[in-house]
Chains A and B, each alone.
Chain A
């Protein structure tokens, strides 16, 4: 509503000027305007003139809005509270809301929300039934004593005012400064937001490796939805894969000598046996690629379907794995399941390549179920755990089931038969990590019957023993058929939708999404609207265009995610026009022409220092686990698993070199070092913010510029004041710009993407 008004105003404004641009501008503004989803902030209703939440016990509630608070608040009580200034969508019920409570001792609880009802006779007011109990109980259980609980309601990443939930006397003065709520409203009010495209910047942080002006212009032209669709058809990769030849396992054989023999041998090691080139390629793709969305999706898939260069150490091997991720990023999850299962890199990493009927290996089937598809516990469609009568989670499978699944994945091995036309990419003397795995020795496949998942409607609950495995042709056919049936049995498991939805939301938007958000995304995964399950395009749109993702500001204190180190660095660099280095420790300061002015993407060692050595996660559980809880809270925060005293400093120092310093220096080729590691270097371009610092000596323009581009307009006044004080010196404008940029980029406020 508000947006259409501003659209009209903008249109009128345009008409007064150059008519030629009118239609273009109207189109572009129109596209964006249709899509802006600003959600209002809920208001929790208080007793008149009091900071006490209007609340009644559920069993005593006659319906309607009570005139005073009569609730007896005890541990375990079911309480009805009242919320306004919201506008739930169809299907948006109790699981779209969270109620957070803090006790006088500082402990935080997440109360169980059981029901949402619209009050039929009171327009715009909703009754929320909650239980004074914490579902996960990390802090124990709330026992409302003196002072009661300070509660607030959050919805779509926005939070309400706080009120006191208590049946005792209200403390005077209120220790948390709580005040009565504003009067209920009939129509949701969206506070006036930003005119700086804050939501577009947020969108770019979520959907790409960082915002920049060119992308922002493109988004204005297309709108978010059409930009996503445009990305679906973008050619990829922008930076070509390196396509090094496959080499033997042993590097000294493959390179004609150990590392250190001579520069050419060393180059061979670097190109073939280290992940140097893949890291360089990945970071350059992130910095300069036009296929940003595919790159983000592929990167997220890498962190679910983990293969690590710590084991799969040849560049060409990891490249083939990456190509599978890239190829399936906008495809169907079921196809990814099959391609990844038969990937030689995965086969090597999780031992399927060694699993035989005689000596089965459980590693791949176990992780396929636990980490890649259905997870350990039965899920509701909104991603919450199903519980049994004793409130325990229900395991998805047990060891006996693993044993059964294991049989299906026996007998496969690398395509190393030169006589087999399927093994077209075999290289003499080297293992074949390009062609999918095959049944080289079909007799190694387990031909006995298997009992798979038996959820309601499960396809292929059993696979019969092979009836005709008297020759290799039939054995191969049986194994292939069994694999497809088994993957279908997994693919249609009801856990898959919420499992994938939760992880994708965590990778793109927020670490601890509301169940309602998970359920909307899971629904799109389950059915793309045309009856197709597993459609990645539908999944991605649902994640990025959801109202919990969109909006220019989110106020829920638990909302957002820590930028993972790769995002952290690339976001900063892309925002300020990342380019080649401008300094060298010795020698010329102009990068070679072959760099074309661009960064070489070589800063992977700072990645390792910050905890995310690109392509080389420490284990199959990724660089960080999806269920990591932020220390001192009960909020999921996967990326916090990498945040500690050491990596905090590494981040600070890394950012310092790009901002206060000249970035990564470039390294010239010399007779003794013909193959430099950092041929182009990396720096960022501060001319834009220097101009702001120069034009406005108060520093305000500089700070607002940083606020818009890095924090999409959400920088607090307190933060602005601190930065203004730190740059209020008679120093060159460039120094001010660098100082302010460093302070924003290194801040906790920027490290959290909200």
Chain B
């Protein structure tokens, strides 16, 4: 309810302003800037296009309620173990609600996806069916790590831990930087772009990275700054419209000229230079985006749905933009569910439903564009959440934790399975033992269920980066801690 109200305020405000601005723009005769340039249709589509779409679930998605054991096998954490840790406080999902999946890597045992990932009346079928179709995979018990840790080495070596575990701002940064050893202003998306942009997009008309979620760390490189645009509620050809470069009368033309030329002076101030650089980039992107074709899939009218729709519009324009490799960043907030996690309107069910519906629409749109296997969606999130609930009853929630499950979706994903690293205790499991105070719980206050991850975000990222086109030789510079782990390829992407 609160979010809807917020959205309403924001959107009504925006609508009003756009209306007012547009009216005034006409008043000044400034609308000619929005005249559309013809689509460049003569160029052949890039032969080897690939795109990564990063979906940040900010606040820390509760992975414990994303993938749930749905079996009674006594040798591995089963539904009863899950239920005993969460049911009393009202945080366990009823077994008959779980969406069934099987996991080949765990002897085809039955697991369940959160019920919000399924069919929605009036919406689409969700991403659940794509598990069985082999297009959706989960990378499990993954988190920020500098090196592999056991519970013992974790306890004995505080300096081996990621810095500031359980703190939002730090953990969400490490997800994006893959630098759990020290704060770093460069994201792994940015580093990939630094490395691959020149070779793949030599005549690209926009930066390799496009962000619909602002200039977040993931999107920043040493030489890369992202194109940051609004979601699909703004048409692509209007996301970057400046009303000051418009007219042909000499006085107006002089204004346009001066505006551009002022950005070429006083660059000795690094802050002025950075400001001018961002505006320069905006101007050239604005020219490149002066026209677009609408997508055909039906996207939900939600925060994430409209973000992914804008991504799909950009991808549809890839030929005209002369880009062969692209990275996109979108963000869905609200996962910091210390309370009201089970609330159907605003809690995790609503958020996961929004996620599933938007990812599915985007997947279908890529199918319509004929490039389902060229585009991969994947999730990041600050951290997982405590197995032990916070509070109880209708207000029940969960607190900050660590190891978490990620989703990967696309035509090149070897889906229908889980990936990660086997636990070191010989249990043959990739998933944590769901026992409070158990072998995977590194909580200090007596077992709230903060799982020690067995797979690092670096390994997850490197697997995606390899598919995107990184060579082995690129890996050390982009993921400095990757060499500490046994595998740089988790195997969930087709080569």
Binding site for B on A (CB under 8 A): 138-139, 250-251, 259, 273-276, 310-311, 313, 351, 354, 356, 359-363, 366, 370, 376, 390, 392-393, 395, 398-400, 402-403, 511, 557-562, 585, 604-606, 608-609, 611, 613, 616, 618-621, 625, 627, 629-635, 637, 640-649, 652-653, 656-657, 660-662, 664-665, 677, 716, 718-719, 722-723, 725-729, 731, 735, 739, 742-743, 746-749, 751-752, 754
One digit per residue, 1 when the CB lies within 8 angstroms of any chain A CB and 0 when it does not, for chain B 454-476 equals: 00000000000000000000000
When the two chains form their complex, are residues A605 and B16 in contact, meaning their CB atoms are under 8 A apart? yes
Chain B residues with Cβ below 8 Å from A139 are: 222
When the two chains form their complex, are residues A645 and B21 in contact, meaning their CB atoms are under 8 A apart? no
Is B20's CB within 8 Å of the partner chain A? yes
**Chain A to chain B contacts (Cβ below 8 Å), 23 pairs:** A354-B339, A354-B395, A361-B397, A376-B167, A390-B159, A392-B159, A398-B158, A399-B445, A557-B271, A561-B271, A631-B220, A632-B274, A634-B185, A643-B278, A648-B278, A653-B243, A662-B24, A665-B24, A716-B265, A723-B258, A735-B251, A748-B266, A752-B269
A643-B2 contact, Cβ under 8 Å, with A652-B242, A660-B244, A746-B259:
no
Pick from A363, A562, A649: contact of B242, CB under 8 Å: A649
**Complex: how many Å from CA A402 to CA B333?**
24
Pick from A625, A645, A752: contact of B278, CB under 8 Å: A645
**Complex: how many Å from CA A748 to CA B275?**
6
One digit per residue, 1 when the CB lies within 8 angstroms of any chain A CB and 0 when it does not, for chain B 250-275 equals: 11001101110111011011111111
When the two chains form their complex, are residues B164 and A376 in contact, meaning their CB atoms are under 8 A apart? yes
A661-B28 contact, Cβ under 8 Å, with A611-B214, A648-B278:
yes
When the two chains form their complex, are residues B445 and A403 in contact, meaning their CB atoms are under 8 A apart? yes
- Measured CB to CB, the nearest residue on chain A to B395 is A354
Is B124's CB within 8 Å of the partner chain A? no
A632-B223 contact, Cβ under 8 Å, with A138-B185, A643-B275, A648-B278:
yes
Stretch at the interface among B67-75, B225-233, B425-433: B225-233
Chain A residues with Cβ below 8 Å from B163 are: 376, 393, 395
**Complex: how many Å from CA A559 to CA B270?**
8
A641-B271 contact, Cβ under 8 Å, with A138-B184, A275-B9, A361-B391:
no
When the two chains form their complex, are residues B169 and A621 in contact, meaning their CB atoms are under 8 A apart? yes
B221 to chain A, nearest CB (A): 8
**Complex: how many Å from CA A584 to CA B261?**
34
A722-B14 contact, Cβ under 8 Å, with A393-B163, A641-B214, A748-B276:
no
Stretch at the interface among B126-134, B279-287, B360-368: B279-287
One digit per residue, 1 when the CB lies within 8 angstroms of any chain A CB and 0 when it does not, for chain B 16-42 equals: 110011011001100000000000000
When the two chains form their complex, are residues B167 and A748 in contact, meaning their CB atoms are under 8 A apart? no
Is B183's CB within 8 Å of the partner chain A? yes
One digit per residue, 1 when the CB lies within 8 angstroms of any chain A CB and 0 when it does not, for chain B 172-184 equals: 0000000000111
One digit per residue, 1 when the CB lies within 8 angstroms of any chain A CB and 0 when it does not, for chain B 148-174 equals: 000000000011000111111110000
When the two chains form their complex, are residues B9 and A722 in contact, meaning their CB atoms are under 8 A apart? no
**Complex: how many Å from CA A259 to CA B281?**
41
- In addition to A616-B6, A723-B258, A751-B275, 5 A-B residue pairs with Cβ atoms within 8 Å of each other are A259-B8, A361-B339, A399-B166, A723-B262, A748-B276
B143 to chain A, nearest CB (A): 14
**Complex: how many Å from CA A138 to CA B390?**
39
Chain A residues with Cβ below 8 Å from B182 are: 392-393
- Report, as a range, how many residues of chain B touch the other chain: 35 or more
When the two chains form their complex, are residues B268 and A640 in contact, meaning their CB atoms are under 8 A apart? no
Chain A residues with Cβ below 8 Å from B223 are: 632
When the two chains form their complex, are residues B10 and A613 in contact, meaning their CB atoms are under 8 A apart? yes
**Complex: how many Å from CA A632 to CA B271?**
10
When the two chains form their complex, are residues B184 and A359 in contact, meaning their CB atoms are under 8 A apart? no
Chain B residues with Cβ below 8 Å from A629 are: 185
**Complex: how many Å from CA A450 to CA B319?**
63
When the two chains form their complex, are residues A273 and B5 in contact, meaning their CB atoms are under 8 A apart? yes
A722-B262 contact, Cβ under 8 Å, with A643-B215, A645-B240, A661-B24:
yes
- Measured CB to CB, the nearest residue on chain A to B444 is A400
Chain B residues with Cβ below 8 Å from A558 are: 270-271
A646-B243 contact, Cβ under 8 Å, with A359-B390, A630-B270:
no
Chain A residues with Cβ below 8 Å from B241 are: 649, 653
A402-B271 contact, Cβ under 8 Å, with A629-B185, A718-B265, A748-B263:
no
B414 to chain A, nearest CB (A): 35
Is B104's CB within 8 Å of the partner chain A? no
A632-B277 contact, Cβ under 8 Å, with A274-B5, A310-B2, A743-B258:
yes
- Measured CB to CB, the nearest residue on chain B to A606 is B17
Chain B residues with Cβ below 8 Å from A351 are: 338-339
**Complex: how many Å from CA A362 to CA B244?**
49
- Measured CB to CB, the nearest residue on chain B to A731 is B251
Interface centre among B167, B182, B270, B399 (most CB of A within 10 A): B270
- Measured CB to CB, the nearest residue on chain A to B158 is A398
Is B298's CB within 8 Å of the partner chain A? no
Which of B363-405 touch A at CB < 8 Å? 389-392, 395, 397, 399-400
When the two chains form their complex, are residues B262 and A646 in contact, meaning their CB atoms are under 8 A apart? no
Is B186's CB within 8 Å of the partner chain A? yes
One digit per residue, 1 when the CB lies within 8 angstroms of any chain A CB and 0 when it does not, for chain B 92-135 equals: 00000000000000000000000000000000000000000000
**Complex: how many Å from CA A360 to CA B275?**
45
Q: Which 6 A-B pairs have the closest CB atoms?
A: A644-B228, A726-B258, A605-B13, A748-B275, A645-B282, A629-B185
Chain A residues with Cβ below 8 Å from B274 are: 630-633, 637, 640, 643
A716 to chain B, nearest CB (A): 5
Is B211's CB within 8 Å of the partner chain A? yes
When the two chains form their complex, are residues B333 and A618 in contact, meaning their CB atoms are under 8 A apart? yes
When the two chains form their complex, are residues A605 and B17 in contact, meaning their CB atoms are under 8 A apart? yes
A625 to chain B, nearest CB (A): 7
**Complex: how many Å from CA A166 to CA B241?**
48
**Complex: how many Å from CA A652 to CA B228?**
15
When the two chains form their complex, are residues A376 and B265 in contact, meaning their CB atoms are under 8 A apart? no
A105 to chain B, nearest CB (A): 12
When the two chains form their complex, are residues A649 and B282 in contact, meaning their CB atoms are under 8 A apart? yes
When the two chains form their complex, are residues A725 and B220 in contact, meaning their CB atoms are under 8 A apart? no
- Measured CB to CB, the nearest residue on chain A to B89 is A359
Is B295's CB within 8 Å of the partner chain A? no
Pick from B185, B227, B338, B392: contact of A361, CB under 8 Å: B338
**Complex: how many Å from CA A637 to CA B58?**
23
When the two chains form their complex, are residues A743 and B242 in contact, meaning their CB atoms are under 8 A apart? no
Interface centre among A646, A657, A742 (most CB of B within 10 A): A646
When the two chains form their complex, are residues A646 and B240 in contact, meaning their CB atoms are under 8 A apart? yes
Pick from B227, B262, B400, B445: contact of A748, CB under 8 Å: B262
A318 to chain B, nearest CB (A): 13
When the two chains form their complex, are residues B165 and A399 in contact, meaning their CB atoms are under 8 A apart? yes
When the two chains form their complex, are residues A660 and B28 in contact, meaning their CB atoms are under 8 A apart? yes
Is B76's CB within 8 Å of the partner chain A? no
**Complex: how many Å from CA A611 to CA B214?**
9
Is B239's CB within 8 Å of the partner chain A? yes
Chain B residues with Cβ below 8 Å from A363 are: 336, 338, 399
Pick from A616, A637, A664, A749: contact of B262, CB under 8 Å: A749
B309 to chain A, nearest CB (A): 16
B46 to chain A, nearest CB (A): 23
Chain B residues with Cβ below 8 Å from A643 are: 215, 274-275, 278
A562-B259 contact, Cβ under 8 Å, with A605-B17, A644-B215:
no
Pick from B184, B254, B272: contact of A726, CB under 8 Å: B254
**Complex: how many Å from CA A366 to CA B270?**
35
Pick from A393, A633, A656: contact of B243, CB under 8 Å: A656
B100 to chain A, nearest CB (A): 32
Chain B residues with Cβ below 8 Å from A647 are: 228
A637 to chain B, nearest CB (A): 6
**Complex: how many Å from CA A340 to CA B17?**
35
B11 to chain A, nearest CB (A): 10
**Complex: how many Å from CA A604 to CA B28?**
23
When the two chains form their complex, are residues A359 and B270 in contact, meaning their CB atoms are under 8 A apart? no
- Measured CB to CB, the nearest residue on chain A to B241 is A649
A648-B282 contact, Cβ under 8 Å, with A560-B269, A637-B271:
yes
When the two chains form their complex, are residues B5 and A251 in contact, meaning their CB atoms are under 8 A apart? yes
